[in-house]
Structure 1
Amino acid sequence: MKTQQGHSSAGSRRTRVMIAATATVVLSGMVLSGCAGQGSGGGDEKSSDGKIVLDFWNGFTGPDGPALQQVVDDFNASQDEVEVKTNIMPWDTLYQKVLTSVAGSNGPDIIAMSASRIPQFADEGMFMPVDDYYDDAENDSEALTTAAVEASMYDGKNYGVPVNYATMMMYYNKDLFTAAGLDPEAPPATWDEFAAMVPKLSTDGNGDGKPDVYAIALADHETVPIFPSLLWGTGGGIVSDDGKTSLLGEPESIEALEYWVGLVKDQKAAPIGLSGADADKLFQTSKAAIEIVGPWMTTGFDEAGLNYGLVKPFAGPASDAVLADVVSMGIPSNASDEVKDAAYKFFAYWNSAEGQITWANGSGFPPTRADVADQITESPYPAIFGAPDVAESARVLMPGVAAGGPILETVFTPALQRALNGEGTVEEIFTKASEEAQAELDK
C-alpha cells in the first residue's frame, strides 16, 4: 500500500495523489499523505505548565483505541517536558481534516499510518528521516522486532518508528462449523480444504439465490489487503521483490486470482463488494464462518459473544505466507528540532518495555519487542498472533515500493471488482492491469 516513485516530477505526483485520495476515501496512508508533510502542527504550542504539546493524529477508532490512549496517558504522566494529545478519528474524517490542515499549515506533529504507505510520502519529501533515532542507544531500538523497524525503510533511509506489528490470522466461527456438519476443531489448513467446505458454509436458507450465511468475509476494497496477499499462495504477487516489475499478469498471479474470483463469484463463498468494515460486521454477526484479519478485532468479537477459533490462515499450493502489517509513526519534514526531540521521547516510551506491556495487554497485539513476551499476562492474543510459526511465514505487502498505493487503489482494486462482477475474464482484466501497474512503477 504505497504510492509514487522517482523525484523528477514530485509536484505532478502530489497532484495525482490528492486526486486519487479524494476519489477513494479509504483506510489509507494516502489520506494522511498531505498532512504528514506540511503544517507545523501543535508542537510549537506550550501548555500552561511549559510542556511542549504534540498533536498525534491516528485512526485507532476500534477496540484497540483505549489501549493506545492508556500508553499516551502513561507517557504524559511519566515526565514533565512533553504532552502528547491524541487526535483519534475515523480515517475518512481524518482525510477531510488533513486537506484543511495542509491549506492552513496546522497539521499534526506525529502521524500514524501503515508503514507500507510511508515510501509514498517520503518520496514526496513529506516525512523526515529518523535514522538518528535508531542510532541513539538510549532508545533501546535493538530490542525491537527487525521486521517492524525495516517496514518504514525507503531508499536507504528509515522514515518511521513502529506503533505495532501485526500478522493477520484466520478467525473461524465454531458454531457455524458445527451447524454445517463440520468439525469445529478442524478449520481448513489449505485452499483446497476451504474450497471443499464452501458448499456447506455458504447456505441459502430461504431459497432466494443469495446466501444467508457465507463461508468467508473477504473484502475487496477499503480494507487490509487480504485479497492481494492471496497471490502469494501460488507464488505470484503484485510487484517483484525489487519493486521494479509488475507481476499481475504472470501465470502464478493469474492462477491465484482465477481461483479466488471463482470461489467468490461462482461459488458464492463471500459477498461481492465488501469493505473491510462490512467484512468485520459480517463475521461479528455470525453471517460469515471465516474472516482473516488482525488482532484489533479480538475485543469486538469477544464482546459479541462469538465462539471462535484463531489459527494460521490456510496455505496456498506454493506458499503459506501470512500478511503482516506495521503501523509506524512519522514526523513532518518541516518539524522544528524541538518538536523532533519531543517526538523521539514519546517514540522511546511507546517502544519501551513498560509501554509495550501496557499496549499488548490492552490491545491484543504482539509487542514490538520480544523481550517482554513473558510479561504479557492479561491477554492471550499477543502470543497467538506472535507465534513463531506465524512470524516465520509473515510478509509485508510491497515494502519500500513508493508506487504501491496507486497500484492497489487505482489498478488492483478496480480490476478485482471488474473481475468479481464478470466484466471480463481474469486473464484479460489483469493482463491489462499489469500494464497499468508497470506504468506506475516506471514513473
Structure 2
Amino acid sequence: MKRLIGSAAVVTAAALALTGCGGASTTPSGGATGGGGGGGSESGTLTVWNWGSADAPAQAYQDQVLAAFNELHPDVEVEIVSQPFDQYYTLLGSAMESGSGPDVALFNGGTQLKSRVDSLVPVTEELADLQDQLAGWPAFEADGETYSAPTFLQGFPIYYNAAIFEEAGLDPEAPPTTWDELDAACEAIKSETDVSCFALGNKEGLGIEFFISGFGSGIFTPEEYDAWIDGERDWESEHTKQALELWAQTSEDGWYNEGANSTAMFNDSFDLFSGGKAAMVIGLTSGTAHWKQFDEFLGDDLRFMMPVTVNEGTELALPIEGGIGYAVINEEKKELGVDWIRSTVDTQALADYSVAGGQIVSDTSIEIDTDIQSAQQMVEVLPTAKPLLHTALSGETLDLLHRLGQQLLIGEVTVDDAASQLAASEQG
C-alpha cells in the first residue's frame, strides 16, 4: 500500500494528518482579505511572463491556474509569454527597464526575486490569509514585505544510485555520514567502477551554489548558518574558506565527470546520473531533476542521503525553501496580479501537480500519494530543514561566485583570492 506523505512537515509533523479541503486560496483579492478588488468585475488583459511548461504535468498545472483565475475574472484575457530560461532574467530586466515588461512575472525565490524588489509591488496584506496554509514564505519576503506566494518547495538533496554503491563494495543501506566516509566512498567508486562519484554540470557556474547549499549544514555551525542567511557573512572566516577549499579539492581528487565546466547542468549533468554514469548528484526536490524524474530511470536503486558532517558542532539539515512564485510588476494591475498569484496556489491545482509532476508543494494541507522511498525520506526530515545558503546572496555576489566556482574547479584562482573577491563584492 502506498504511503501518503505531504509538505506539511515543513511547518509541523502533525500537519501530515491534514488533507486538501477545497480552494480557499482562490478567494478574490477584494474578498475577505480586504485587497480592494471585485472578482469578476474587471475586464481587459493581464500579461504574464514565465519560462514555459517543460512537460505535460507543468502544462496541466498552468491550465488549472488559468482556469482558477478565469473563474474570478471571466472577462480578463490572460496573455502568457514563455521566455527561454537561460535568457529569462536578462530579457525580463531589459523589458522592465524600458517600461515594456509584463504585469506579472515568475521568479525563483531568494536572490532572483529579492534583488528586484524595488521594481515589484508588495502584496503583504493581500496574501496575509495564506500565511498559515503555505510554507516557504521567507524566500519571497524582503524588508518586512511579501512579494509573492510560494507554489512549491525547492531544495538541494543528495541522491545516490544503490546499484553503483553495491558495485563499489559499499553498503547502499548505510550511506556516508561524515566527510571522511564520503571521501572514502568516492575513492571506492573511482577504483571499482567506471563511473564518476558525482555528476556535475558547471557550464553555467551553478555547481558551487549547489555544493555550498547542499553541504553547508555540515560545514557551518548553526550560528554561522543563521548569520549567513541574515546577511552577516565573513567570506574570509575559517569555515567559509573551508567550503571553497572542499569544492576545489573534490575536483582535484577526481570526484566529477570529465569536462564538468563545459557540461550543462540542465539537463546534461542530471542525465549522467539518471543514466547510471555517476553514483551521486546534488539534485532538486521539485521542478526538474527531482525524485520522481530520477525514479523513472533508477527505480528502487534511487536513494536519498543527508549532507555529511564535516565539522563538529554542526547540525545536519536538508536545504529547502520556497521555490518559485509570481510577483506583480505593474501597480495598475495589482488586484488582477494578486488574484493570479492566489490562483497559482489553488489547492486542487497544487495537489494534482504534486502527484503528476513530482513537486513537494507549499500547501501544508496537501498529501502526496507516492511510494518513492527518497521522497518519503525527504519529507521525514523537513521539520529540521534550513533555507538555501546561496539564495541569501545578492545577484552581483552570486554571479561572481559562479565565475570563481568555475576557476576554482580548474585551479585558475586560489581559495584566498576567491574569498577576498567575494568579501569585496559584499562590502562594495
Q: With the length of structure 2 as denominator, give the TM-score of the two structures.
A: 0.75
Match of 1:433 among 408, 418, 423: 418
Alignment of 1:209-248 (within 5 A): 212-220=194-202, 221-223=204-206, 225-229=209-213, 230-235=215-220, 240-241=227-228, 243-248=230-235
| 3-state SS, counterpart of residue 290 of structure 1 | strand
CA 334–227 in structure 1, closer or farther in 2 if over 3 Å, else same: same
Maintained 8 Å contact 1:222/1:275 = no
Maintained 8 Å contact 1:165/1:368 = yes
Distance 1:382 1:244 in 2: 32
Gaps of 5+ in 1: 1-48, 206-211
CA 88–286 in structure 1, closer or farther in 2 if over 3 Å, else same: farther
Q: Deviations over 1:311-347 (max 9, x none)?
A: 23332233313222423434344331xx221222222
Q: Does residue 276 of the first structure (1) align with residue 259 of the second (2)?
A: no
Q: Deviations over 1:226-249 (max 9, x none)?
A: 112234422177994364444222
Distance 1:381 1:74 in 2: 33
Structure 1 residue 288: deviation in Å? 0.7
Which residue in 2 is equivalent to 1:166? Answer: 154
CA 382–342 in structure 1, closer or farther in 2 if over 3 Å, else same: farther
| 3-state SS, counterpart of residue 102 of structure 2 | coil
Maintained 8 Å contact 1:364/1:380 = no
Distance 2:94 2:219 in 1: 44
Q: Which amino acid aligns with 2:416?
A: T
Alignment of 1:34-433 (within 5 A): 51-59=43-51, 61-63=53-55, 65-76=58-69, 78-79=71-72, 80-95=74-89, 97-98=91-92, 101-102=95-96, 105-116=99-110, 117-122=112-117, 125-135=118-128, 137=129, 140-145=130-135, 148-202=136-190, 212-220=194-202, 221-223=204-206, 225-229=209-213, 230-235=215-220, 240-241=227-228, 243-271=230-258, 272-273=260-261, 274-277=263-266, 278-295=268-285, 296-297=288-289, 298-304=291-297, 307-317=300-310, 318-336=314-332, 339-373=333-367, 376-377=368-369, 380=372, 384=376, 387-397=379-389, 401=392, 404-410=394-400, 412-424=401-413, 429-433=414-418
| 3-state SS, counterpart of residue 343 of structure 1 | helix
CA 196–324 in structure 1, closer or farther in 2 if over 3 Å, else same: same
| 3-state SS, counterpart of residue 112 of structure 1 | strand
Q: Which amino acid aligns with 1:88?
A: S
Distance 1:193 1:204 in 2: 16
Q: Which amino acid aligns with 1:193?
A: E
| 3-state SS, counterpart of residue 359 of structure 2 | coil
Q: Deviations over 1:197-238 (max 9, x none)?
A: 112223597xxxxxx510111344443721122344221779
Distance 1:133 1:352 in 2: 15
Which residue in 2 is equivalent to 1:26? Answer: none
Structure 1 residue 289: deviation in Å? 0.9
Q: With the length of structure 1 as denominator, give the TM-score of the two structures.
A: 0.73
Maintained 8 Å contact 2:152/2:362 = yes
CA 182–365 in structure 1, closer or farther in 2 if over 3 Å, else same: same
Distance 1:60 1:163 in 2: 15
Distance 2:347 2:371 in 1: 16
Maintained 8 Å contact 1:246/1:434 = no
CA 386–213 in structure 1, closer or farther in 2 if over 3 Å, else same: closer
Structure 1 residue 415: deviation in Å? 2.4
Q: Which amino acid aligns with 1:226?
A: F
Q: Deviations over 1:116-146 (max 9, x none)?
A: 1222111xx21111112223x4xx432111x
CA 351–379 in structure 1, closer or farther in 2 if over 3 Å, else same: farther
Maintained 8 Å contact 2:45/2:79 = yes
Maintained 8 Å contact 1:249/1:430 = no
Q: Which amino acid aligns with 2:316?
A: D
